[in-house]
Structure 1
């Protein structure tokens, strides 16, 4: 274990980029000019730099968060959210509530990230907090990251909006072909051209923010100057107090799926936590980037929803599916401009989200491989040949490809949102409880940021509510995606159960049967990346 003095020193010193080595080096490891390489779990409290170096400035880190948060959700889900909520007022309230939920998640991520400034996010935090039973937390995170760490929904939206803009009748093949083409191109760019990929995703992120500002200002213009759009209605009829709450549906069973979709639209507020090894001044950057991005997203979401309701009739909003933004542009600017130029801009926005998600999840996969929890871990841990985590990108690409290519069209998009979000609530519970546990067990750890405890408890309560919510049936007994109302929860629990079974067989039952135990060994690859090998050691 690292002495307290070492922890104090590491936490208070500026986190500048050290030499390009990914090994953890503590002051106690240095003896007579020799450095002992170690990947002990306690070394997580020290900053670490991967061979590719620290390439992410404050603005790049901000784009990683804001472009992850503002994906296709605001362009695709408001229609289904209003359909579930029943009224404009309740729908807007859900968007504000989503920001509060995200803020509770943010403060937990800020304390963890500043305390353990390493790439990997929840993987690092859960491994550090729950070290017993051994390998349990690592296995749960690895299985969820591989099976659920896909980028499919925004690829699907990209294909939908491109076809809509080009006025091509969408077919299953064309939509999937565009989605897979986008995923493949981004994987190649991030895998072969590291700095170019960062520049492209920065550009797309700023384009996205500009697009949302344009939409918000358009909605304000329509209201302030009482512009009547084709087949529209005066905005004041809907935005009056009585109109705001008309037909509100307060049933929690029905609202829970809407809460998931709103929460998904804020998902990614901790995105930069996954890549802290590559962020300049990671602690200082993390403490400012996440709050700035959350405030930006909340304001833009409210203004864009206001624009939708000001222009598109409420009945049409509820029936719009994932094309509400396209309908908005068509009504404001006409079929030519509205159906072509701006929907293409939304497709570009979705592409920007895919870029930042791919960038960060590849790093998470690389960290899982470095810990020895993927086959061919040397290959997937290495940053060769282009100084980027090509192995992590491949691990991300395969499940994403399968999710896009195999399921049929229809309700897949909404179902994917639900399945992605549900198991994450268990990880959120574990990190929130873990934060409280570490406050008690490890007061020696330096915490440059301390979460407000009521926010942590509120996050726990919200996670418990969201875990239980799918099992409260809606009025008609069906979810709004055409499946049995608790299907996504059952699938999510099934994935977690599979991870627990895998851990028990791999690290408890089979080693006991054959008389060995699993131990960790540190190895350094030719590119300087340190990894952990899991080896079987015969019991004496």
Structure 2
């Protein structure tokens, strides 16, 4: 009889079950499989939300609704944001040459593959929703609750979606030729965030369909831009500007002309490239909803990385062919606008490009909101949010509405409260910096688990040199803000490392909170914190942290 997707899921489940120590295998049940499974070897087992049970697959109460293509879009829409429409001009200006610019996009993909390999090893070993939350809790079990507290702080306090909401508002107003104001930009940004929260919270499958459609449009736009450049090179049609394609720039002597190999310049340019590849681990946050999660994870991440790298190279080549190199270097964030203007004329470019970037921003907000809501739901299930029975439940619309609301509130505040300008940029820098500590911890954690737990089944194993390179990159990103930028005189409003200090301060506050909550108060009041499992009416298992006082 042919194997169905359900049988394949159960086969993966059995393979992972063999990796659990015998002492735990009799007391762990995967909520993704019913107790009357065809495989009698599972037997009747007690529901237990022990850390060790993370090696088992678990199906979300609202089902596995993400096929391979949906998982691919979840990554691609997260990776392809507004960066490819804005950063190539500034990168080309800083490094000087076409060849070095293209080389950096390839190097960025290779280094990003190192981080992807680590998340693939973790995800295939621990196929659960939650991403880094699951991985850090499983790896760093002592001190007790510390890893969980840090992840919860980072996800709830800094896990907001603001930048692409603002981008959406700016470019919609520009396309409609409406004079932008701070209020109108923020109103559109809040409106987008609100609509997406309602769609994902009340209409689960409709939300997946819409984000798949927006992601497909975004990919199609990059393909269109790339092949437009190739078409101009091959057929040399008359463009709106009347200038011939600049193909001689790819001659070997011209390719590397004016290259700037200074490490300081290259590192700054590389950081911009890295941000354009960020989000390759987005599907790890929602593995409870992915069909055949282990098999999907082993292919969808590399496919997305290869696709993104190819699209970025095609679009960059199109820019260099159509836009004169000196104009491109001075274009700043308007390189894509220059491209459309040169090919189609000012009117078409002024309308189509802003709408395309607005669609790109909306697609990014949809997939980020979708994924982070699941992380918040997992944090609530673990007992680290108040009203866990409400926030972890999938009622009333069979969707993680509680996790969406936890994500919505800080995102709304970040959009609405700060004035436009440097303060907003500063907040976004603070958002990203602590994430490097978690990336470092997960990279080191892969090596620790290889040593401590060789018994775990690893359907995918990261290459050790790739792990070491990822660790070195995280250390570089953590220390980089504390080196003064070139020409700094000490007379600016903000100290250059302020955002890093604030980010570290948030982590320190989280550690103090953990110590007071789990160590100081229990000692003072004479109780211990214990975990109690509870099953909600919708079938969701949650952990409640209760105070146990010795008799």
Structure 1 length as normaliser, TM-score? 0.89
Contact 1:362 1:395 in 2 (8 A): yes
Could you tell me how far 1:79 is from its partner in structure 2?
A: 3.6
Is 1:73 aligned with 2:83? Answer: yes
**Gap change, CA 1:25 and 1:315, over 3 Å in 2:** farther
- What residue in structure 1 maps to residue 352 of structure 2? 341
Q: Which moved more, 1:431-440 or 1:213-222?
A: 213-222
**Gap change, CA 1:407 and 1:222, over 3 Å in 2:** farther
- What residue in structure 2 maps to residue 403 of structure 1? 414
- What residue in structure 2 maps to residue 176 of structure 1? 186
In the alignment, the residues of structure 2 paired with residue 280 and residue 364 of structure 1 have an alpha-carbon distance, to the nearest angstrom, of 18
Is 1:97 aligned with 2:107? Answer: yes
**Gap change, CA 1:274 and 1:5, over 3 Å in 2:** closer
In the alignment, the residues of structure 2 paired with residue 501 and residue 23 of structure 1 have an alpha-carbon distance, to the nearest angstrom, of 39
For residues 429-468 of structure 1, what are the structure 2 equivalents within 5 Å? 429-468=440-479
Residues 88-125 of structure 1 deviation map (CA, whole Å, 9 limit, x = unaligned): 44433332222112100111111111111100001000
In the alignment, the residues of structure 1 paired with residue 242 and residue 410 of structure 2 have an alpha-carbon distance, to the nearest angstrom, of 43
In the alignment, the residues of structure 2 paired with residue 245 and residue 52 of structure 1 have an alpha-carbon distance, to the nearest angstrom, of 54
Is 1:389 aligned with 2:389? Answer: no
For residues 190-201 of structure 1, what are the structure 2 equivalents within 5 Å? 190-201=200-211
- What residue in structure 2 maps to residue 14 of structure 1? none
In the alignment, the residues of structure 1 paired with residue 119 and residue 380 of structure 2 have an alpha-carbon distance, to the nearest angstrom, of 22
Contact 2:81 2:360 in 1 (8 A): yes
Matched position secondary structure for 2:542: strand
- What residue in structure 1 maps to residue 227 of structure 2? 217
Contact 2:240 2:341 in 1 (8 A): no
- What residue in structure 2 maps to residue 419 of structure 1? 430
In the alignment, the residues of structure 2 paired with residue 74 and residue 195 of structure 1 have an alpha-carbon distance, to the nearest angstrom, of 29
In the alignment, the residues of structure 2 paired with residue 284 and residue 384 of structure 1 have an alpha-carbon distance, to the nearest angstrom, of 30
For residues 129-528 of structure 1, what are the structure 2 equivalents within 5 Å? 129-225=139-235, 230=241, 235-236=246-247, 239-241=250-252, 244-245=255-256, 248-253=259-264, 255-411=266-422, 415=426, 418-477=429-488, 484-528=495-539
Could you tell me how far 1:224 is from its partner in structure 2?
A: 4.0
Could you tell me how far 1:353 is from its partner in structure 2?
A: 1.2
Matched position secondary structure for 1:339: helix
Contact 1:85 1:248 in 2 (8 A): yes
**Gap change, CA 1:24 and 1:125, over 3 Å in 2:** farther
Contact 2:77 2:218 in 1 (8 A): yes
**Gap change, CA 1:462 and 1:155, over 3 Å in 2:** same
Q: Which moved more, 1:31-40 or 1:295-304?
A: 31-40
In the alignment, the residues of structure 2 paired with residue 183 and residue 222 of structure 1 have an alpha-carbon distance, to the nearest angstrom, of 39
**Gap change, CA 1:259 and 1:485, over 3 Å in 2:** farther
**Gap change, CA 1:188 and 1:120, over 3 Å in 2:** same
Instruction: Structure 2 unaligned segments of length 5 or more: list them.
Output: 1-13, 22-28
Contact 1:117 1:276 in 2 (8 A): yes
Contact 1:252 1:469 in 2 (8 A): no
Could you tell me how far 1:507 is from its partner in structure 2?
A: 1.4
**Gap change, CA 1:406 and 1:41, over 3 Å in 2:** same
**Gap change, CA 1:407 and 1:328, over 3 Å in 2:** farther
CA-based RMSD of the aligned residues comes to 3.1
Contact 1:22 1:530 in 2 (8 A): no
**Gap change, CA 1:239 and 1:34, over 3 Å in 2:** closer
Contact 1:7 1:445 in 2 (8 A): no
Is 1:106 aligned with 2:116? Answer: yes
Q: Which moved more, 1:426-435 or 1:332-341?
A: 332-341
Contact 1:6 1:26 in 2 (8 A): no
Count the aligned residue pairs. 527
Could you tell me how far 1:310 is from its partner in structure 2?
A: 2.8
In the alignment, the residues of structure 2 paired with residue 319 and residue 483 of structure 1 have an alpha-carbon distance, to the nearest angstrom, of 27
**Gap change, CA 1:379 and 1:509, over 3 Å in 2:** same
Structure 2 length as normaliser, TM-score? 0.88
**Gap change, CA 1:74 and 1:414, over 3 Å in 2:** farther
Could you tell me how far 1:248 is from its partner in structure 2?
A: 4.9
Contact 2:16 2:55 in 1 (8 A): no
Q: Which moved more, 1:407-416 or 1:391-400?
A: 407-416
Q: Which moved more, 1:370-379 or 1:168-177?
A: 168-177
In the alignment, the residues of structure 2 paired with residue 45 and residue 20 of structure 1 have an alpha-carbon distance, to the nearest angstrom, of 10
Residues 509-532 of structure 1 deviation map (CA, whole Å, 9 limit, x = unaligned): 222222222221111111110001
Matched position secondary structure for 1:340: helix
- What residue in structure 1 maps to residue 46 of structure 2? 36
Residues 477-523 of structure 1 deviation map (CA, whole Å, 9 limit, x = unaligned): 289x9954323322322222222222122212222222222221111
